Amino acid sequence: EPEVTQTPSHQVTQMGQEVILRCVPISNHLYFYWYRQILGQKVEFLVSFYNNEISEKSEIFDDQFSVERPDGSNFTLKIRSTKLEDSAMYFCASSDGGAGTDTQYFGPGTRLTVL
Amino acid sequence: AQSVAQPEDQVNVAEGNPLTVKCTYSVSGNPYLFWYVQYPNRGLQFLLKYITGDNLVKGSYGFEAEFNKSQTSFHLKKPSALVSDSALYFCAVRDPTSGTYKYIFGTGTRLKVLA
């Protein structure tokens, strides 16, 4: 069964450093998403991406964040200058098309720890 | 504003007994509702969804959920719990009239099935 994969599983970084979280969505999917979950809190939407551009972003997704689909398979989330409060589990998700009833399938997550 | 509530942080049930994990929602239109399960060190796995039609939805691993519009609820149920069902369960909602594809998640309910 196709799965969303994410690397690395755990990333530790110093405050102010740049990090790139990587995701490989399910191969025939067209919509891509990032969510995050701060420890003990809700899973929160960050951004959605379709047709090589951001289709929606939340208030959390400020200028420090960016997303990219650098090739036909990867989808990345970059945090330019990490803050302590960026420590969270980051989930990538994908869905197959614009029917609107599509299910989002999630990856296993990347745990980001900012020291 | 859209929101989801999972009123119980943890539910304990004996193996073989029926289980219920509660979810209530608030959206302006007719919601799309989802249940996901998270096992340790794994991503969010899709269990089932309600889009339209029959209020009782059947999903993976013997789970089902009942959509109740008057009570704005979408409780997850299983007739006979297994120890292997122990995990973290998330309810999510999408408002199709909002023009957004993002999911709003509840805070999660930890299910413990006791042998």
**How far apart are the C-alpha atoms of A28 and A54, rounded to whole Å?**
19
Mean pLDDT value of segment A44-56: 94
Query: Chain A closest CA to B108's CA: distance in Å?
Result: 7
pLDDT above 90: percentage of residues in chain A: 81
pLDDT on residue A86: 97
Q: Which residues neighbour B49 within 8 Å (Cβ) at sequence distance 6 or greater?
A: A101, A103, B32, B33, B34, B35, B57, B59
C-alpha distances (whole Å) from A83 to each of A3, A17, A40, A46, A65 are: 30, 9, 18, 16, 12
pLDDT on residue A100: 63
**How far apart are the C-alpha atoms of B45 and B43, rounded to whole Å?**
6
Contact state of A48 with B41 under an 8 Å Cβ cutoff: no
Query: Chain A closest CA to B30's CA: distance in Å?
Result: 12
Q: DSSP letter string over A46-115?
A: EEEEETTEEEEE-TT--TTEEEE--SSS-EEEEESS--GGG-EEEEEEEE--TTS-PPPEE---EEEEE-
Contact state of A56 with B104 under an 8 Å Cβ cutoff: no
pLDDT on residue B53: 87
> Chains A, B: CB contacts under 8 A, how many?
56
**How far apart are the C-alpha atoms of B4 and B73, rounded to whole Å?**
9
A99 has a pLDDT exceeding 70: no
Contact state of A43 with B43 under an 8 Å Cβ cutoff: no
Q: Taking CB atoms and an 8 Å cutoff, what residues of chain A touch B42?
A: 108
Contact state of A42 with B34 under an 8 Å Cβ cutoff: no
**How far apart are the C-alpha atoms of A39 and A59, rounded to whole Å?**
19
Task: Please tell me whether the peptide bond between A2 and the residue prior to it is cis, using omega within 30 degrees of 0.
Answer: no
Mean pLDDT by 10 residues, chain B (115 residues): 92 98 91 92 89 92 95 97 96 86 93 96
Handedness of CA A11, A8, A105, B77 (dihedral sign): negative
Q: What is the dihedral of CA A76, A81, A84, A90, to 10 degrees?
A: -10
Contact state of B101 with A48 under an 8 Å Cβ cutoff: yes
pLDDT above 70: percentage of residues in chain A: 97
A71 has a pLDDT exceeding 80: yes
Q: Taking CB atoms and an 8 Å cutoff, what residues of chain B touch A35?
A: 103, 105
A98 has a pLDDT exceeding 70: no
What SS3 state is found at B35?
A: strand
